[in-house]
Chains A and B, each alone.
Chain A
Amino acid sequence: MSIKVLIPTPLRPCAGKQSTIEVSGQTVGEALNDLIAKHPDLRKHLFSEDGKLRSFVNVYLSDEDIRYLTEDATPVKETDTITIVPSVAGGR
């Protein structure tokens, strides 16, 4: 099954300068693993050394944060889009 992943601007240099990548998988975890297999340089930007999603990286399945679904085990379907968005915060 083919699913679209939207890549944010800072990660595109590690993804062949592409903004959208087609991956395969039955779950979010499988889809992200396929993304990493296609573009290994993305791994260090998305995951910490223990293999967990980095704290400032948000992964959304359509409009839902996977942290509030079943994380990696969240099932995906053909029409789904996975969006990766690093967090935006700060203050004086």
Chain B
Amino acid sequence: MPLTISDALYNQLRKHGEATYPHECCGVLVGEFDETGRKAVKAVAPCGNTRTDSPTNRYHIDPVELVRIQREAMLAGRDIVGFYHSHPNHPARWSTTDLAEAHWIGCSYVITSVESGRAVLTNSFRLLGPEENKRFEDEHVEVIE
């Protein structure tokens, strides 16, 4: 089941990775789930990376930012449907750290590889549960005009 995102929002999250290079960027994907579980991204909320101790290979979103984004999304009749971050000088594949620290079962985790300051590949992975036996599944990203 694909993750649908507009060309403008797709470019926005990729450019975030370029702007923070060589540090990891991170943010939240706000949108809608339909009755089949298909996700459509309607807004991108860039966040700060609180991992100032190791920003080139770690990211963490301040929970208070998540609280605010979740509240505003719900007021607008939307939901958090996923998250994004960048892998500077590293492939756009999930790492063992990404899996260990992912807890939003059913949501999308979008990763962009950034090399020499330029966004290269962007891939999405859907987190499947339960928490004790979680795994990522490749997810097609459908970029629409």
Chain A residues proximal to chain B, CB less than 8 Å: 6, 8-10, 19-20, 45, 56-58, 60, 63, 65, 81, 83, 85-92
Contacts and interface: CB of A to CB of B under 8 A. Distances in A.
Main secondary structure of the interface of B (DSSP, over half): mixed
B98 A91 contact: yes
Give the size range of B's interface with the partner. 35 or more
Nearest to B113: A92
B66 interface: yes
A9 B63 contact: no
Interface of B: 24, 26, 28, 33, 51, 54, 57-61, 63-64, 66-68, 70-71, 74, 79-81, 83, 85, 87-88, 90, 94-95, 97-107, 109, 129, 131
Contact of A88 (B57, B58, B66, B90): B66
B77 to A, nearest CB: 10
B105 to A, nearest CB: 4
A6 B70 CA distance: 9
Nearest to A81: B71
Given A6-B71, A91-B57, 14 more contacts: A10-B103, A10-B107, A45-B131, A60-B64, A65-B64, A83-B70, A83-B71, A87-B61, A88-B101, A90-B100, A91-B59, A92-B24, A92-B95, A92-B98
